[in-house]
Structure formats: structure tokens, C-alpha cells
């Protein structure tokens, strides 16, 4: 907490030199000192509340480390999910290849039979 120094005796003497009575000068100095102290205290409370609220918004090294760990966790989960999807796709592709191969053999056999009949290779 920073304190503001105020020379109330020097202030009172200057007021006396300017024509104030001693009692007026002392009262004026006391009132001014009290007002300065009140403003200083209010300002310090304002600074402390601002510091507390701004500290709540600041990220600490621990917060940053937590975020890094969370990112790594998400990356690992994504990697496993991608590997699962890749394996499923490979299985689906193999299944489709076998189904297409069956159709190709069936169509090839049907074409051969049609050609054999058309050209009379089988004798019927």
C-alpha cells in the first residue's frame, strides 16, 4: 500500500502567512489530510479489487499445462477413432471387392454361354 505524505504543518503555516487565523489554518490542514487519506484508501481498495478480478482471468502455468494435457488426450482419442474408421473402411472395401468379383465372374460366365450358343460352339 502506498502512502501519500502530506505536510499539514507546512500547509497550515502557509495559510497563516496568507491571512488565515491559526485555528482556521489548522482545521483546513486537518480536513485536507483526512480527505487525502480517504481518497488514498478508496483508491487502494479499487486497485486491490481490480488486481483480484484480473488475477482470476489470468492463466497460470498449471492452467496452461492442463490445457496441453487435454489437447494431447483429444489427439490420442482422435487417432484411435481414425484408426477404427480406417479399419472399418478396409473391411468394407474388401467386402465390396468380393461382391463385385462374384458379379464379374457371373457376367463373364453368362457372356461365354451366350457366345457359345450364338456361335454354335457347343453344338446345340
Cα separation of 2 and 4, whole Å? 7
Rg (CA), the chain: 46
**pLDDT, position 124:** 60
DSSP string, 46-111: HHHHHHHHHHHHSPPHHHHHHHHHHHHHHHHHHHHHHHHHHHHHHHHHHHHHHHHHHHHHHHHHHH
> Which pTM does this prediction carry?
0.42
Question: pLDDT per residue over 14-37, tens digit each?
Answer: 888 888 888 988 888 899 988 998
- 57 vs 44: which has the higher pLDDT: 44
Would you say residue 58 has pLDDT above 90?
no
Question: pLDDT per residue over 88-123, tens digit each?
Answer: 999 999 999 999 999 999 999 999 988 888 888 877
Amino acid at each position: 500500500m502506498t502512502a501519500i505524505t502530506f505536510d499539514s504543518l507546512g500547509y497550515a503555516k502557509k495559510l497563516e502567512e496568507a491571512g488565515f487565523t491559526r485555528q482556521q489554518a489548522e482545521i483546513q490542514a486537518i480536513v485536507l489530510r483526512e480527505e487525502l487519506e480517504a481518497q488514498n484508501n478508496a483508491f487502494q481498495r479499487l486497485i486491490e479489487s481490480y488486481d483480484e478480478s484480473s488475477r482470476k482471468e489470468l492463466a497460470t502455468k498449471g492452467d496452461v499445462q492442463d490445457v496441453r494435457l487435454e489437447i494431447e488426450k483429444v489427439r490420442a482419442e482422435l487417432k484411435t477413432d481414425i484408426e477404427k474408421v480406417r479399419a472399418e473402411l478396409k473391411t468394407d472395401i474388401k467386402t465390396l471387392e468380393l461382391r463385385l468379383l462374384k458379379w464379374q465372374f457371373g457376367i463373364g460366365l453368362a457372356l461365354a454361354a451366350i457366345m457359345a450358343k450364338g456361335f454354335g460352339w457347343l453344338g446345340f
